Structure 1
């Protein structure tokens, strides 16, 4: 990656809806060169996707929580199975495999506390590998709008 690639990544993080022509003008390249570079960043996996940010409260999913799960036995198969199960649930936004007291943190968005209780009790806690869980209700969820520096060495 060179400084032009970094400029493209920076602009797309600010606004992924830019047209190629708008992006080219912002980074000071010809549209054809910008398109070639953007496609190369996509093929290499550096640009992993383009996403719309949805206001969950406006679609009836205003109650969010982070749920910590402990599972046993702690094996690759159990971890992969639980992760696959969790990601298949419509309320689940993200799944994190973590170290510490919990094995997983699962970010969920539901319509109500009652819906969350039903989801946890009926679907998650009934799984044989789940030996414990704790729910942390999120009062507020704010994403960092800052652009991540793309020019740092990994």
Structure 2
């Protein structure tokens, strides 16, 4: 499997049509990104060269945007995860949105940052050791920012992920 996918040069976000074989490859890679080319070819009942060429083409076309590891945060001492909805204050929205996103995405506790349309402006997914760390994160890194109007914290008990989406362009 390629380790450093090449991104398409154009910012073409039109849907890419997949034939049946490409769709099956995508489904397998979503479940098991580290599958060997030989195992992928066997699962598809195609030659290894065909599997390799098809995966390479999916990467080149931007359909497969990367290969990812799923990290057990609890094994790293970060057994508590939370989703924090953040609403920014009105006024100078563009600047505050950009500044907020730039600052928060760099924090080591942040696993994912979502910019939303709706009640919340952002959804911040964090992993920390315990409840006091969630409180500290919200108070020191979110509520302390002048652009933040409100936060809503939800503790994650359990989750299921069907796949990993590539960042929006």
> TM-score, with normalisation over the residues of structure 2?
0.78
Equivalent-residue separation in structure 2 for 1:43 and 1:77 (angstroms) = 34
Aligned to 2:150: 132
Equivalent-residue separation in structure 1 for 2:38 and 2:21 (angstroms) = 15
Q: Name the stretch that deviates more: 76-85 or 118-127.
A: 76-85
Equivalent-residue separation in structure 1 for 2:62 and 2:69 (angstroms) = 19
Unaligned runs of 5+ in 1: 149-154
Does 1:76 find its partner at 2:85?
no
Equivalent-residue separation in structure 1 for 2:34 and 2:42 (angstroms) = 14
Give the alignment partner of residue 21 of structure 1, picking from 10, 25, 38: 38
Instruction: Summarize the Cα distance change of 1:67–1:125 in structure 2 as closer, same or farther, 3 Å threshold.
Output: same
Give the alignment partner of residue 35 of structure 1, picking from 26, 44, 52: 52
Unaligned runs of 5+ in 2: 1-17, 165-169
When the two structures are aligned, how many residues end up with a matched partner? 146
Equivalent-residue separation in structure 2 for 1:74 and 1:12 (angstroms) = 42
Runs (4+) of structure 1 exceeding 4 A deviation are none
| 3-state DSSP of counterpart to 1:132 | strand
Equivalent-residue separation in structure 2 for 1:97 and 1:122 (angstroms) = 20
Q: CA RMSD for the aligned pairs?
A: 1.9
> TM-score, with normalisation over the residues of structure 1?
0.85
